Amino acid sequence: MNRAIFLDRDGVINIDNPQFTYTIEGFSFNEGIFEALKLFQSKGFIFVIITNQSGIARKIYEHKEVAILHDYMLNEFANHGIKISEIYYCPHLPQVSNCLCRKPDSISLEKAIARFNIDAASSYFIGDRQRDADAAIKVGVKPILIEENTNLNEIIHLIV
């Protein structure tokens, strides 16, 4: 089975913007992200990104813009030798459309666990909101709750 590190996106991988992040110009990787993920990868972890993108339900941006941004993000990771197994994003907002994929719900984690044969008990979820931790706990993944935009090198000791 695989050990995984689940990652929230905004505030963990990139600088959180309260006005939403949906363009390459508006996207900045957090300091330390490449070094930390390279280290985790060298220890055998795979990576899955689980992100709420309610800006779609709010009609601030569309799936197409998310796809372009995620292509860019994955390409930057690949340039640093980092493989992201999958990105699951929830485009919904409870007031607009109910769903089970918005954190703190855990359907996206469950899908990833099944698809990538992940051992939940030896996996982690790094997030900057309580809803990230709540989703992790539902499926038996260990939550690591950080302040937004923390340099992940500061929390490496919690995992390896």
Q: Which residues bind Mg ion (CB under 5 A)?
A: 8, 10-11, 128
Cα dihedral angle (52, 159, 34, 133), rounded to 10 degrees?
Answer: 10
Residues 84, 36, 107, 58, CA torsion sign: negative
- Scanning 65-73, 86-94, 116-124, 142-150 for contacts with Zn ion by CB under 5 A, the matching segment is 86-94
Shortest Cβ distance from residue 58 to Zn ion (Å)?
Answer: 13
- Write out the H or E segment, with its range, that includes residue 134: helix 130-138
Residue 21, SS3?
coil
Q: Looking at the DSSP assignment, which residues form a beta bridge with residue 2?
A: 118
Nearer to Mg ion, 2 or 61 (CB): 61
36 touches Zn ion by CB under 5 A: no
The minimum distance between CB 102 and Zn ion, in angstroms, equals 4
11, interface contact from Mg ion, Zn ion, none, CB < 5-8 Å by kind:
Mg ion
Contact between 120 and 107 under an 8 Å Cβ cutoff? The reply is no
Regarding 103 and contact with Zn ion (CB under 5 A), the answer is no
Tell me, rounded to whole angstroms, the distance of Cα 160 from its chain centroid: 19
Which residues carry out catalysis? Answer: 8, 10
Please report whether residue 92 would count as binding Zn ion according to CB under 5 A: yes
Binding site for Zn ion (CB under 5 A): 90, 92, 99, 101-102
